[in-house]
Structure 1
Amino acid sequence: MPVTSVTKDPEALTMTVVADFAVPLQRLWDAYADPRRLERFWGPPTYPATFTRHDMAAGGRSEYSMTGPEGDVARGYWEFIDVKAPHSFEVRDGFCHADGTPNTDLPSMRMVFAFEANGAASRLTTTTYFNSVDELEQLLGMGMEEGMRQAMGQIDDVLADLRTFAAELPAAAQTLDDTTVRVSRVIRGSVEQVWAAHHDASLLQRWLLGPDGWSMPTCEVATEVGQPYRYVWQDDATGRSFTATGEVLEIAPPHRAVTTERMSGDGIPADAPGTTNELTLTPLEEGTLLTLVITYPDAATRDLVLGTGMVDGMETSYARLEQAVLAG
């Protein structure tokens, strides 16, 4: 077990958990920065976690659920107060409802995660600050200490499984729930470079093209909340075309952008439903983790779109982004 000590201080209203890992500091940090890794250990073994949002930047937010063996669901959130990669991050941790709003019937707490290098190994010190002795006792009574011990006991397996998250792997989709899909891809480039590639029209027209033989003659980019965007693609051999339109709902450069999207054009029904797309960029040792959470109106639409080979098309574009834009 990586946990070496647990110290509870009722006077200071804190609980401090120290855990040691036989991996470099950056690899341990990336386990918390990458939601695909984080959800493999954050919940105890019988309550695995799913992160539907994970914006690891000051002012960002994470939302997750933990599902028990009987199908019961516990939901939580993090509000990021401070992030100093790869040395520390601080969050407000609390319980939430299905719509993401805080559940004020249960306590929230402040948590500080401090990462230290020790040669080829690393140490994580997690300090939880409670609001009162009653809340400390309530959360400990709910199994918080044992839950953290069990969760950290799973980190070693995640840290050893480097291949699953390697930068050379193609884009992959994971179904989060009935209407939500997360597409992930590590891009070889900095967060700032990848953000610019998504918000500079001259760059977008070089890589966001899908199959070979297609071009993007129209690229009207949106960079502010409420601003509309419009992309038009065409098959240069046949003249077939389709269009994506939408608007910006949230934007926090260079880490997060939320947009609506509706497709139209050849072969697309006029009443085709739209989606909400949440783009998050997170720095990792291998490059930038691009996470795109897509929310569909229903499960049938989700499955229909995924069945078109959408993710393969995205991988073609992401590979072109690395080769035609970032490589230079």
Structure 2
Amino acid sequence: MPVTDVTTDAEALTLTLTADFAAPVERLWEAFTDPQQLERFWGPPGWPARFPEFDFTPGGRAVYYMTSPQGEKSYGSWEFLEIDAPRGFTVLDNFANADGAPLDGMPVMRVVFTFEPTAAGSRMVNVSHFASADALQQVVDFGAVEGSTMAINQLDRVLAGLREYAAGKATQTEILDDTHVRITRLIEGPIDLVWRAHQEPELLEKWMLGPDGWRMSVCEVDPAVGGKYRYEWEPIGDTEGERFGFDGETVLSEAPRRAVTTEHMTGTDYPSTLNDLNLEEEDGATLITLLIEYPDMQTRDIVLATGMTDGMEASYARLEGVLAGV
């Protein structure tokens, strides 16, 4: 992972994050100063960022917000104080309202981004300066250490490019914490088609089948927020197994980039999961990122032990074939 150290210093009133990358300083600079690239990593998993305003000039301002799986938005703003391309820049970082105005009573940070070359590529040192120990502790209590670490650890795939990042990889499953798992798979195909393939029953029936020997016997989908869905599968031929299914509803929909749904095993009293689907396109290929929130670690481990990753890989490989014929 890129992040190598996160340190808080109550005497110096600083929070320092250090990360190393296998990319030159100029490439790192580009990722931090292009809002479209910033949006691909700045928000931690489950809270993707958007930068509707980005005036990268001394005295200019950027406004961003991060959206939770339930649709809650958290706003922030940067005032650019100093810019020294490509070595770094300094911002005044505020918690903000929907208009980008600073929130009263919330900490204000002076944040210095520094980029320097290393033998293997480049290093980012991000130092946040606080006005008081209480302000520093307040930000730490908000989860800034964990959130910043998870956000910056997503930057590798942006710097490398999606095809290089995913080269030789099939479906990847990462355990993020006790209740969160992230699944990624690069699909050859544009984002609009990949989105449709997750929303339209006539396409879902062709690829969301898991291992060979199963068919989707029920596929009912209302992709609107609050809409319900129901899937059922049954074995065919000599395949062993029993009919099963899932049901749930759409919590958030931001076509064609994000859909959040609940998922419950039909006919059981098992607790539901929250599935946060994000799509990201680059050069005709789309990265699928599925963040799954489980109710507890035990449920997480039971599901992972079923061979879920292998079944998803079979489905995603089939999806590429379906998209080629659309």
Q: TM-score range by the shorter chain?
A: 0.5 to 0.7
Provide the rounded CA distance (Å) in 1 between the counterparts of 2:185 and 2:171: 5
Q: Which residue of 2 aligns with 1:261?
A: 263
Provide the rounded CA distance (Å) in 2 between the counterparts of 1:51 and 1:182: 12
- Contact 1:93 / 1:111 at 8 angstroms: preserved in 2? no
What's the CA shift for 1:148? 4.3
What's the CA shift for 1:162? 7.7
Note the alpha carbon deviations across 1:161-191, whole angstroms, 9 max, x for none. Answer: 9887225521111122211111111111101
Q: Which amino acid aligns with 2:292?
A: I
| Residues 1:262 and 1:288: Cα distance change in structure 2 (over 3 Å) | same
Q: 1:252 aligns with which of 250, 254, 259?
A: 254
DSSP 3-state at the match of 2:321: helix
- Contact 1:246 / 1:261 at 8 angstroms: preserved in 2? yes
DSSP 3-state at the match of 2:109: helix
Provide the rounded CA distance (Å) in 1 between the counterparts of 2:282 and 2:87: 18
| Residues 1:166 and 1:207: Cα distance change in structure 2 (over 3 Å) | same
DSSP 3-state at the match of 1:247: strand
The two structures have a TM-score, normalised by structure 2, of 0.61
Once superposed, what is the RMSD of the aligned Cα atoms? 4.5
Provide the rounded CA distance (Å) in 1 between the counterparts of 2:86 and 2:203: 41
Q: Which residues of 2 match residues 84-95 of structure 1 at below 5 A?
A: 92-93=63-64
DSSP 3-state at the match of 1:53: coil
What's the CA shift for 1:236? 1.1
Q: Which amino acid aligns with 2:287?
A: L
Q: Which residues of 2 match residues 308-327 of structure 1 at below 5 A?
A: 308-326=306-324
Q: Which residue of 2 aligns with 1:109?
A: 77
Q: Which residue of 2 aligns with 1:299?
A: 297
Unaligned runs of 5+ in 2: 1-23, 55-60, 94-100, 125-151
What's the CA shift for 1:227? 0.9
Q: Which amino acid aligns with 1:311?
A: T
- Contact 2:260 / 2:277 at 8 angstroms: preserved in 1? yes
Note the alpha carbon deviations across 1:83-132, whole angstroms, 9 max, x for none. Answer: 9xxxxxx96358999x97759xxxx42379xxxxxxxxx97997847679
What's the CA shift for 1:271? 2.2
The two structures have a TM-score, normalised by structure 1, of 0.61
Provide the rounded CA distance (Å) in 1 between the counterparts of 2:293 and 2:316: 21
1:80 partnered with 2:51: yes
- Contact 1:167 / 1:287 at 8 angstroms: preserved in 2? no
Q: Which residues of 2 match residues 5-154 of structure 1 at below 5 A?
A: 21=26, 32=37, 38=41, 51-53=44-46, 62=48, 78-81=49-52, 92-93=63-64, 102=74, 108-110=76-78, 128=91, 139-140=109-110, 144-145=111-112, 147-149=113-115, 153-154=123-124
DSSP 3-state at the match of 2:46: strand
| Residues 1:139 and 1:94: Cα distance change in structure 2 (over 3 Å) | farther
Provide the rounded CA distance (Å) in 1 between the counterparts of 2:36 and 2:51: 16
Provide the rounded CA distance (Å) in 1 between the counterparts of 2:66 and 2:202: 43
Provide the rounded CA distance (Å) in 2 between the counterparts of 1:165 and 1:31: 18
- Contact 1:111 / 1:126 at 8 angstroms: preserved in 2? no
Q: Which residue of 2 aligns with 1:5?
A: none
DSSP 3-state at the match of 2:301: helix
Q: Which residues of 2 match residues 193-232 of structure 1 at below 5 A?
A: 193-232=193-232
What's the CA shift for 1:276? 0.6
What percentage of aligned pairs have identical amino acids? 36
- Contact 1:21 / 1:123 at 8 angstroms: preserved in 2? yes
DSSP 3-state at the match of 2:259: strand
Unaligned runs of 5+ in 1: 1-18, 43-49, 55-61, 63-77, 84-89, 113-121
| Residues 1:213 and 1:251: Cα distance change in structure 2 (over 3 Å) | same
- Contact 1:30 / 1:284 at 8 angstroms: preserved in 2? no
What's the CA shift for 1:51? 2.1
What's the CA shift for 1:283? 1.0
Provide the rounded CA distance (Å) in 2 between the counterparts of 1:310 and 1:153: 36
Provide the rounded CA distance (Å) in 2 between the counterparts of 1:161 and 1:22: 11
